[in-house]
Structure 1
């Protein structure tokens, strides 16, 4: 579990985010194979009963999907106001969907495969020669620079 303010700030500052209709995922590669997470439920989601229910749903969905989720991610889940009406199944589907959009560090050489052979070879060579930043798994940097226009 992520507990320190500095960990939350590092994920927010150095990481990336993906949004769904009920949850927002802030994430960054952890550099280890461990999966750590935290849940943030603002008061706009409802009273304490609703907020605690959302936290239980997210924890349960995250535990149930652990074997299917990529390893090596620190993730912060932020609930949106509509999360209280979602239910466990919708939360589980959204967690799976958002995790699929957030690749882990060990997937770095395979990120560019969908962009063609040239880009995938550049990505693989940059990973093999240690040019791939472990915090930002995109081999072309944070700004998503593409070396082949």
Structure 2
């Protein structure tokens, strides 16, 4: 995922939290906000220190970025998306994380039907 497609600023995170909608499953929570003037979706990741040490947190973030990279063509373009990791995600491998992201995107309507 290109760095231009990431949400980094706290103010942008807060805007999505306040004005957006959310959905959750066991491993992840998703917040999303429609921004009609945007050409590509943007993603913000949040992995708390409660999940594990830096190695574990960075691995989870890599899994999440790779999942979005593989689902790139199927995601609606005009959204800001924030993913928050929950405790059970630390026991998941990449395929479980991707399946969980796919489930959230499908349930929220952000995934285009093939």
TM interval, shorter chain, is 0.7 to 0.9
> TM-score w.r.t. structure 1 length?
0.67
1:59 shift after superposition: 0.4
Larger relative contact order (CA 8 Å, sep ≥ 6): 2
1:36 maps to 42
1:147 maps to none
> Which of residues 45, 54, 75 in structure 1 aligns to 2:81?
75
Measured in 2, the distance between the counterparts of 1:102 and 1:73 equals 12
> Which of residues 92, 101, 108 in structure 2 aligns to 1:95?
101
Instruction: Specify every segment of 5 or more residues in structure 1 that has no aligned partner in the other structure, as ranges.
Output: 108-149
2:32 maps to 27
Deviations 1:38-82 (A, max 9, x none): 110001111111001000000001101111222211001100011
Describe the SS at the equivalent of 1:76. Answer: strand
Q: Aligned pair count?
A: 105
Instruction: Specify every segment of 5 or more residues in structure 2 that has no aligned partner in the other structure, as ranges.
Output: 1-5
Measured in 2, the distance between the counterparts of 1:82 and 1:67 equals 28
Point out the structure with the larger strand share. 2
> TM-score w.r.t. structure 2 length?
0.86
Q: CA RMSD in A?
A: 1.4
Measured in 1, the distance between the counterparts of 2:77 and 2:107 equals 14
Measured in 2, the distance between the counterparts of 1:50 and 1:3 equals 20
Describe the SS at the equivalent of 2:7. Answer: coil
For the pair shown, which has the larger CA radius of gyration, 1 or 2?
1
